[in-house]
Amino acid sequence: MTATITLVVVICVIALIFDFTNGFHDAANAIATSVATRALSTRQALTLAAVMDFVGAMLGTGVAETIGGGIINTHDMDDVGLVIVLGALIGAIAWNMITWWFALPSSSSHALIGALAGAGVVGAAAVNWSVIVDKVVVPMVVSPLVGFILAYFVMKIVLRFLHKATYRATMRGFRRAGIAAAAAMALGHGLQDAQKTMGVVMLALTAGNLVAPDAGIPLWVKIAAATAISLGTFTGGQRIMKTLGNKIIDMDPSRGFVAQMVSASVLYTTAFVWTAPISTTHVVTTSIMGVGATKRKSAVRWAITRSIVSAWIFTLPAAGVLSGGITWGLLHVIPV
């Protein structure tokens, strides 16, 4: 029993480390456009995003329940189930670090889900492929498309509505509104991404038979996950911020505002209605593409977007293979 509790504690700590890396890896999602359009300084934007991440993390548990009980089943596997979760976490963190190093805004969510599936296969856990298809693969395709299309048409409407307005005064107004948009986006990021860590912690607690599978998320788990992602967000992630803020399109305040509000609306819908763990990175990136495409097709730097999309496509299988190898090694090293 002592070994089991030790494994659970180690997993909880590493899960919070993953949550922290998720924060600085995905900080750009919430604030890149606000910083690029000079609505906020980098430090102001990071502070706002950290606070709203914490608030968002406390608002729901639907996504956490999908991660904690829907992806793999480690019940009644004793310490083997815990090693599977540990291997998945290490694999997800490793993939986050690789994509962060290359400044690619890949999905921490899909890294975690791919890692859980890969570790589950190697550890002979029951992998719920139907849930992965319904709650991960389908939203992975649909949510970025919705972000692009919605951002494109909303931006077209805004441009038509304000075509006679004074440019400088209008941009000044959008720059101020961008602060609210950044807050809304950060709230959605916390609502989505912090819950994934809550789900992993619950997976460890139930695998270790310390909490019943149908128990609700304990308050201490919510607070710990919310705090970790907020601290991670506050540290920055400026490598990816430059990619989202400047390299995809030349951002102006009106397009930054629309991209963030559209992204936030998609995040809220999927968290509360679909309870699907979608990628905030995918949604905000395609929303930026959508508002950029209203200028002209060449306004979007498609060479950059191809690199980003390639990272999206490879994240699930790459994280799965990486975590599978790590889990195989752990199962041969840790006596279970």
pLDDT tens track for 119-149: 999 988 778 888 888 877 888 788 888 998 9
| pTM for the full predicted model | 0.80
Q: Which residues of the chain are modeled with pLDDT < 50?
A: 245
Residue 242 has a pLDDT of 55
Distance CA 90, CA 69 (A): 19
Residue 237 has a pLDDT of 58
Distance CA 248, CA 109 (A): 22
Query: 85-107 pLDDT, tens per residue?
Result: 899 999 998 988 888 777 766 77
Residue 323 has a pLDDT of 95
Which one-letter DSSP state was computed for residue 126? E
Residue 89 has a pLDDT of 92
Distance CA 255, CA 216 (A): 40
In one-letter notation, the amino acid at residue 101 is: W
Within 10 angstroms of residue 126's Cβ, the number of other Cβ atoms is: 11
Residue 145 has a pLDDT of 87
In one-letter notation, the amino acid at residue 130 is: S
| Residues 6 or more apart in contact with residue 279 via CB below 8 angstroms | 107, 108, 109, 110, 140, 143, 144, 312
| Residues 6 or more apart in contact with residue 134 via CB below 8 angstroms | none
Q: Which two tokens stand for residue 49?
A: 């995003």
Tell me the backbone φ, ψ of residue 126, rounded to 5 degrees.
-75, 115
Residue 300 has a pLDDT of 66
Q: What is the DSSP string of 43-75?
A: HHHHHHHHHHHHHHHTS--HHHHHHHHHSEE-T
Residue 162 has a pLDDT of 86
**276 dihedral zone (left: phi>0; alpha: psi -120 to 50; beta):** beta
Which one-letter DSSP state was computed for residue 218? P
